[in-house]
A and B are shown apart, each in its own frame.
Chain A
Amino acid sequence: MKSLVFFGIGIIFLVLQTTMFHRFPAWIGQPDLLFLLLVFVALQLGTFRGLVLTLLLGMMLDIFSGVHLGVYPLAYLLLFSVIKAISRNLALKDSVHQVPLVMVGFLGFAACVHLLVSLLSPENETYWAWPQLLQHIVILGVACLPFFHCCQWLQDLLENKPPLSLFVFKRRPANRFNRV
C-alpha cells in the first residue's frame, strides 16, 4: 500500500515536471521532485520495496526523458545503492545531513547520467552546463527539508503513527549511542 502510494506520487511529480515546470521563470528553475522522492525512498523505505520503487520510477522517467532507454533506472539504482550503503554507517536520517546528501547526490546522479549517455553514444557530445546544474543543486538543497518533512508526514499517516509536528528540523536525541 505504502509503495503504491509513493509510486502514485512519483507519477504525479513526473507529470508535473513534464507539463508545468517549464512554465516557471528561469530563476526559479525546475525542481526535480522525483529525485527528492527517490532519495527519501532510499532513506526511509526497506531495501526490497525501495529497490522496486526506484526501478519502476526510473523506467517511467525513461519514457518521458532522454534518448537511450535504461539510463535512468541504472542511475537511480546506483544512487539507491550508494545511499543505502552510506546510511548504514552515517546518521543520514538527521535533517542536518540530508541537505548535503541531496546536493552531492544530485551531482553524482548527473555525472552518472552523463557518463552513461557518453558511453552509449560516444559520437555525440553530451550536454553539460554547470550554471544550470548548480542552480538545480541549490534548488534541491532548499526544497529537500520541507519535502522530506511532507513525505515523512505521509509515511506516518500511512503507518497510522501520530503525525509529526510542523517543525521541519528534527532534534537529535541527547545520546544516540547510549542504548540500554
Chain B
Amino acid sequence: MKEYNIEVLKDAANRLLFDMSDEEYQTLLEEFDIITKQMRLIGEDNTLDNLEPMTFPFECTTTFLREDIPGTPLVREEAIKNAGNKTGGQIKLPKVVL
C-alpha cells in the first residue's frame, strides 16, 4: 500500500483545488495512520469474503426529502474561478468530440 505523508496529502489537496494549514495536514495524516491500521486489521480477517459488502455502516432509512425551494446561486465569477480558460462566462475547453 502506498505510504501517506504530508507531501502526498498536499499534492492531493492541490489536485482538488484546496489548501489547508500545516496543523490541519498533520491532523489529517494522523487520521490516515489510524485508517491504514484499521484496513490492515480488516485485511487479516479471512472470513470477510463470505460477507455481503455494505454501503452504509448500519442499516438505516430516512424519510427526509428536501422542499423544492431554490437557493441563491453562486456569483458567476466565483463559480468558474478555478477554470483555466473562460470566455463569455463559460468554461472553454479543447474540443474532444467530433
Q: Does B associate with A? A: no
